Amino acid sequence: MHPSSHRIHRYARAATLAAFAALATSAAHAAEGGATEADATAMVKKGVAFIKANGRDKGYAEVSNKAGTFKDRDLYLVVYGLDGVVRAHGANERMVGKNLIDLKDIDGKAFVRERVEMAKTKATFWQDYKFTNPENKKVEPKAMYCEKLEDAVVCGGIYK
């Protein structure tokens, strides 16, 4: 093999490894230092189990407690009734009791309506929209993992 061929092969291998490392890093972390898809999925499952074990009143109160079990960095849980009414909100307890069915993101997407419609036909799902990251106050793309729980949907999301 010609010496320049070895050099080209070495550069190609290095570029491939660098691309793989970048892809692995972006898949593991959403926003810099933020929660991952695995974190969101685990927290939603933990939240659903907690609500089932402790009842709605205690479960929703714990989800809405900013210093509670269901808050980690930029990850928190929300619970919506299938009518669009907020039952619990880990980042903004003032939203509890409000019907946000017509709430839209910065692109005009009616994400609450879409979420409750998805929950009517799917037991679990991911939903994409844009929302304000409570850590940096910037509107960012968000992916929300959701699980239906009786007449409600429990969700936790990551910022991308």
pLDDT at 2 over 80: no
Q: Are 60 and 118 in contact (CB under 8 A)?
A: no
Q: What angle do CA 114, 47, 130 make, to 5 degrees?
A: 35
pLDDT band at 27 (very low <50, low <70, confident <90, very high): very low
Q: Are 102 and 113 in contact (CB under 8 A)?
A: yes
User: pLDDT tens across 36-88, in order?
Assistant: 999 999 999 999 999 999 999 999 999 999 899 999 988 999 999 999 999 99
User: pLDDT tens across 93-126, in order?
Assistant: 999 999 999 999 999 999 999 999 999 999 999 9
